[in-house]
Amino acid sequence: MLVNLVTDRLERVAPGSVLRADGGRSFEVVASRPHQTAHIVAFAGVPDRNAAEALRGIVLRAPSIEDPEVLWVHRLVGARVVGLDGTERGVVESVEANPASDLLVLDDGGLVPLTFLVELRDDDGAPVAVIDPPAGLFDP
């Protein structure tokens, strides 16, 4: 089965890993190898091409990885953004891919390159993204 990954964590398609589809069906990886921009993955219980074709278009998900050294997009979305000096800058609505640096998209339309993020912390359970932006970044 040809699988397009949206992660750089290749252990997600390592033999023995389990992926879940919407509806709760599980798929155990038996083997995988890179192929062009995707991976060819063999799953237990999917014996041939016809069985794989029947699964075309499904979305597979892996359990979340809790790694404090990794910055996850889902932890950034909804975070309050403040400067080192405590200036409130908004709330992260999304993270936009950009070749130079991914961008935090703020609720007021502002864009902050991720390279200016110095800390992501929790204040009483609410995420706060602390940034150190250059002078002029927020000027009109």
Q: Are strands 60-61 and 80-83 parallel, antiparallel or unpaired?
A: unpaired
Instruction: Read off the pLDDT band of 72 (50, 70, 90).
Output: confident
Burial of residue 34, with CB atoms counted within 10 A of its CB: 0-12 exposed, 13-18 middle, 19 or more buried = exposed
- The 8-class DSSP code of residue 117 comes to E
Residue 88 has pLDDT above 90, yes or no: yes
- 73-131 to CATH, choices 3.40.50.10860, 3.20.20.140, 1.10.10.10, 2.30.30.240: 2.30.30.240
What pLDDT digit, counting tens, does each position of 13-42 carry?
999 999 999 888 999 999 999 999 899 999
**Mean pLDDT in residue range 45-65:** 91
Distance CA 97, CA 81 (A): 18
Mean pLDDT for all residues in the chain: 92
pLDDT for position 75? 85
pTM equals: 0.59
Question: Residue 87: its pLDDT value, please?
Answer: 94
What percent of the chain lies above the pLDDT cut of 90?
A: 71
pLDDT given at position 124: 87
Distances (CA, A) of 106 to 87, 90, 96: 14, 6, 11
Q: What is the mean pLDDT of residues 72-87?
A: 92
Residue type, 139: D
Residue limits of CATH 2.30.30.240 in the chain: 73-131
DSSP state of 133: P
Tokens (6 digits) for 69? 């050294």
Interval 1-22 mean pLDDT = 91
56/42 Cα distance (integer angstroms): 14
Report whether pLDDT(66) > 80: no
Q: 137 vs 80, 113, 127, 131, 140, CA distance in Å?
A: 17, 10, 22, 11, 9
pLDDT value of position 26: 95
Q: Which residues, in sequence order, are CB contacts of 78 under 8 Å at separation 6+?
A: 91, 92, 127
